[in-house]
């Protein structure tokens, strides 16, 4: 709220010559006549605009990544309290741009702000498109705090260290410096603090809280509360949201009172297909593999999807729904991620906790073998089929799964089970689209194996899920910013919010700012 007394003070505003000052009036009811007052004071009477200062408290968001694009999430929040005594610069996520080469080149470009000036970086979850540029931020002088939930910190360290190998190889190929080294990851971990769901983080002029997002272990929405009493504003960043119910996680927090919502839109224009009996399909795929004496290959993402799969296999094996068969988890990253999942059992939903409390280890069952070392991976070849191999990457764009695909795709008794979204251009997508021949590790390979898909499962909500979240907040919402989706998806969803709920909505492009009234 505007302070009359403050209006006549010149020095506390720290406004330099050449700064354009804009007075924000909260209606005329406060009886102030600020413009003449300002002019009389003389200090602010500079019309040449080099910077915009709003007296009376301000919150400004600049969308610097994940703006009309899925990856690279990076949102800057600048704020000052009404009397300008409390100001700050916050970042929500600092993700890597992923996808095409041109897209990934953007990871080397400068940030749209000075990393030295950022006070706090909030991390919503540990996917690389939300954490991948943290080491770069640290390298370029970030001295503030990083804050996330405890599992996000652990998973982020694992992912950042893991992706370093790939980035190093890429850099060597392109004859340039890798984007970061172990040193920056180590430094990032030193300044990284954790906060539990629902716990209030007090910063100068703002309170922050993480709330369950149900997307992957530890994923959170970030709620920022500015001001107090009548002038209080609740700004919520959704991060990536889950698609409940999920096998392991709790449902996302039931948000109902946001003033401003910055919402993801990965599937902002799509409806998910109906949910299939996933476990039943999995059961049949394994039974058929045992019958045909082949190999069941399952490409799976190392974080969340693999642990969901292990949990379901645990149930099928231990409850005698399938016969025991050798099952290999052939992914060092997934094995390490599973250890982190085990550490955070309190984050699981009631059903999973019930199974754990009955004394069962949900990621361990007869026949399951973790293959951490290369020799263990190679030794899978010596085990007679039938057998099941779970390995990364989820879209067969690399990782150990491609070695198994090269060996067993020509075998008509074997099966490839696709459980994840396969991006255009990936090996997984070529096979999904029915390719009869594919190139793997430089060799032409015939696809004689059976290709099965389990669809309808996604770790993001579809357009209806997103819409219902906005609708629940519609009494209070002043504006919705749609981010982290392709342009058609983000723009479609923003339009839908405007048309059906009459709430102001926008899908900002990269670099666009918005001042919250
Ligand atoms: Zn994500």
Q: What is the largest CA-CA distance in the chain?
A: 90
Q: Are 123 and 191 in contact (CB under 8 A)?
A: no
Torsion (CA) 355, 357, 359, 361 in degrees, nearest 10: 60
Residue identified by tokens 């890429």 is 170
299 CA distance to ligand 1 middle (Å): 18
Give CA separation, 143 vs 114, 115, 131, in Å.
Answer: 11, 8, 16
466 CA distance to ligand 1 middle (Å): 15
125 CA distance to ligand 1 middle (Å): 7
Q: Report the alpha-carbon angle 50-52-54, nearest 5.
A: 155
The beta-strand segments (E) located in 174-244 are 192-194, 200-203, 206-212, 220-226, 233-237
348 CA distance to ligand 1 middle (Å): 18
Residues 6+ apart with CB under 8 A from 431: 396, 409, 416, 418, 438, 447, 451
DSSP assignment letter at 348: B
165 CA distance to ligand 1 middle (Å): 21
Within 10 A of 223 (CB to CB), how many other CB atoms are there?
20
Task: Give the integer Cα–Cα distance in Å for 464 and 272.
Answer: 9
2 CA distance to ligand 1 middle (Å): 40
266 CA distance to ligand 1 middle (Å): 10
DSSP assignment letter at 209: E
Residue 10 token pair:
């010149």
pLDDT at 456: 63
Question: Strand pairing of 220-226 and 206-212?
Answer: antiparallel
Within 10 A of 128 (CB to CB), how many other CB atoms are there?
18
Q: Are 284 and 403 in contact (CB under 8 A)?
A: no
320 CA distance to ligand 1 middle (Å): 34
| Closest by Cα among 77, 139, 144 to 108 | 139
Task: Give the integer Cα–Cα distance in Å for 406 and 473.
Answer: 50
Q: Are 173 and 194 in contact (CB under 8 A)?
A: no
240 CA distance to ligand 1 middle (Å): 5
Same fold, 57-271+459-516 and 278-453: no
85 CA distance to ligand 1 middle (Å): 36
CATH class of 57-271+459-516: alpha beta
Task: Give the integer Cα–Cα distance in Å for 245 and 317.
Answer: 22
Q: Are 203 and 88 in contact (CB under 8 A)?
A: yes
Task: Give the integer Cα–Cα distance in Å for 312 and 216.
Answer: 16
CATH architecture of 278-453: 3-Layer(aba) Sandwich (3.40)
Give CA separation, 112 vs 97, 109, 276, 445, 505, in Å.
Answer: 14, 9, 44, 45, 23
| Ion ligand 1, residue ranges at CB < 5 A | 127, 240
pLDDT at 166: 82
pLDDT at 489: 96
* Ramachandran sector of residue 489 (left: φ over 0; alpha: ψ -120 to 50; beta: rest): alpha
Task: Give the integer Cα–Cα distance in Å for 479 and 502.
Answer: 10
What does 460-514 look like in DSSP terms, one character per residue? Answer: S--HHHHHHHHHHTTTT--EEEEESS-HHHHHHHHHHHHHHH--EEE-PPTT-EE
pLDDT at 24: 43
Residues 6+ apart with CB under 8 A from 180: 135, 136, 138, 139, 160, 164, 167
Q: Are 148 and 218 in contact (CB under 8 A)?
A: yes
Give CA separation, 507 vs 103, 224, 376, 490, 501, in Å.
Answer: 19, 20, 48, 6, 16
338 CA distance to ligand 1 middle (Å): 17
Q: Are 23 and 38 in contact (CB under 8 A)?
A: yes
277 CA distance to ligand 1 middle (Å): 24
DSSP assignment letter at 111: P
SS3 280: helix
116 CA distance to ligand 1 middle (Å): 27
Residue 175 token pair:
């004859």
153 CA distance to ligand 1 middle (Å): 14
261 CA distance to ligand 1 middle (Å): 18
pTM of the predicted model over 0.75: yes
252 CA distance to ligand 1 middle (Å): 14
Phi and psi at residue 262, in whole multiples of 5°? -110, 105
Residues 6+ apart with CB under 8 A from 95: 65, 66, 71, 72, 73, 74, 127, 128, 129, 130, 131, 132, 133
215 CA distance to ligand 1 middle (Å): 7
444 CA distance to ligand 1 middle (Å): 33
Per-residue buried b or exposed e for 33-52, using 16+ beta carbons within 10 Å of the residue's own CB: ebeeebeeeebbeeeeeeee
Helices marked H in 321-434: 332-343, 350-357, 374-379, 401-408, 427-432
| Closest by Cα among 162, 312, 150, 307 to 219 | 150
- Give burial (CB, 10 Å; 0-12/13-18/19+) of 5: exposed
316 CA distance to ligand 1 middle (Å): 28
* Ramachandran sector of residue 75 (left: φ over 0; alpha: ψ -120 to 50; beta: rest): beta
485 CA distance to ligand 1 middle (Å): 12
35 CA distance to ligand 1 middle (Å): 47
- The full set of domain ranges for the chain reads 4-52, 57-271+459-516, 278-453
* Ramachandran sector of residue 290 (left: φ over 0; alpha: ψ -120 to 50; beta: rest): alpha
Q: Report the alpha-carbon angle 152-156-161, nearest 5.
A: 160
287 CA distance to ligand 1 middle (Å): 32
Task: Give the integer Cα–Cα distance in Å for 266 and 203.
Answer: 31
145 CA distance to ligand 1 middle (Å): 22
| Closest by Cα among 184, 177, 241, 193 to 213 | 241
387 CA distance to ligand 1 middle (Å): 31
209 CA distance to ligand 1 middle (Å): 19
**What is the pLDDT tens value at each position of the chain, 517 positions in all?**
233 333 333 333 444 333 345 444 433 334 333 333 333 233 343 333 323 344 457 899 999 999 999 999 999 999 988 777 788 999 999 999 987 777 788 998 999 999 999 999 999 999 999 999 999 999 999 999 999 999 999 999 999 999 898 888 888 888 888 888 999 999 999 999 999 999 999 998 999 999 999 999 999 999 999 988 888 999 999 999 999 999 999 999 999 999 999 999 999 999 887 777 888 899 999 999 999 999 999 999 999 999 999 999 999 999 999 999 999 999 999 999 999 999 999 999 999 999 999 999 999 999 999 999 999 999 999 999 999 999 999 999 889 999 999 999 999 999 999 988 888 788 999 999 999 999 999 999 999 999 999 876 789 999 999 999 999 999 999 999 999 999 999 999 999 999 999 999 999 999 999 999 7
Q: Are 440 and 406 in contact (CB under 8 A)?
A: yes
């Amino acid at each position: 709220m505007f302070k009359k007394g403050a209006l006549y003070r010149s020095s506390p505003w720290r406004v330099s010559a050449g700064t354009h000052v804009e007075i924000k009036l909260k209606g005329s009811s406060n009886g102030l006549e600020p413009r003449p007052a300002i002019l009389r004071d003389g200090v602010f009477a500079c019309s040449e605009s080099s910077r915009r200062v709003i007296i009376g408290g301000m919150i400004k968001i600049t969308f610097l990544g994940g703006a009309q694009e899925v990856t690279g999430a990076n949102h800057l929040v600048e704020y000052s309290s009404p009397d300008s005594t409390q100001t700050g610069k916050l970042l929500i996520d600092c993700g890597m741009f992923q996808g095409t080469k041109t897209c990934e080149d953007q990871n080397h470009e400068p940030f749209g702000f000075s990393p030295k000036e950022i006070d706090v970086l909030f991390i919503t979850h540990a996917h690389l498109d939300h954490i991948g540029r943290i080491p770069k931020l640290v390298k370029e002088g970030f001295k503030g705090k990083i804050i996330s939930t405890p599992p996000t910190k652990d998973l982020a360290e694992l992912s950042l260290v893991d992706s370093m190998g790939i980035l190093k190889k890429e850099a060597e190929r392109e004859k340039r410096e890798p984007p970061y080294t172990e040193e920056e990851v180590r430094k990032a971990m030193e300044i990284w603090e954790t906060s539990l769901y629902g716990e209030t983080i007090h910063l100068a002029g703002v309170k922050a809280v993480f709330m369950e997002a149900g997307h992957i272990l530890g994923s959170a929405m970030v709620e920022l509360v500015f001001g107090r009493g009548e002038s209080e504003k609740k700004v919520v960043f959704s991060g990536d949201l889950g698609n409940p119910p999920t096998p392991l996680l709790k449902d996302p927090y039931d948000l109902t009172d946001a003033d401003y919502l910055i919402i993801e839109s990965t599937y902002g224009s799509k409806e998910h297909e109906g949910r299939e009996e996933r476990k039943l399909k999995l059961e049949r795929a394994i039974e058929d593999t045992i019958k045909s004496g082949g190999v069941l290959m399952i490409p799976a993402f190392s974080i969340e999807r693999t642990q969901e799969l292990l949990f379901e296999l645990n149930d099928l094996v231990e409850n005698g729904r399938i016969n025991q068969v050798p099952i290999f988890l052939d992914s060092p990253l997934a094995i390490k991620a599973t250890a982190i999942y085990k550490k955070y059992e309190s984050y699981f939903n009631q059903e999973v906790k019930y199974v754990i409390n009955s004394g069962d280890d949900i990621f361990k069952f007869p026949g399951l073998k973790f293959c951490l070392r290369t020799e263990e991976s190679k030794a899978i070849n010596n085990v007679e089929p039938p057998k099941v191999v779970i390995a990364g990457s989820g879209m067969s764009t690399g990782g150990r799964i491609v070695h198994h695909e090269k060996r067993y795709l020509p075998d008509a008794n074997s099966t490839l089970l696709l459980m994840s979204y396969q991006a255009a251009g990936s090996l997984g997508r070529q096979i999904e689209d029915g390719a009869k021949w594919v190139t793997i590790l430089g060799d032409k390979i015939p696809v004689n194996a059976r290709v099965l898909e389990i669809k309808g499962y996604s770790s993001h909500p579809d357009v209806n899920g997103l819409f219902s979240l906005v609708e629940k907040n519609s009494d209070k919402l002043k504006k919705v910013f749609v981010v982290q989706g392709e342009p058609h998806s983000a723009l479609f969803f923003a339009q839908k919010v405007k048309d059906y709920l009459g709430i102001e909505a926008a899908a900002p492009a990269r670099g666009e700012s918005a001042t919250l009234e």
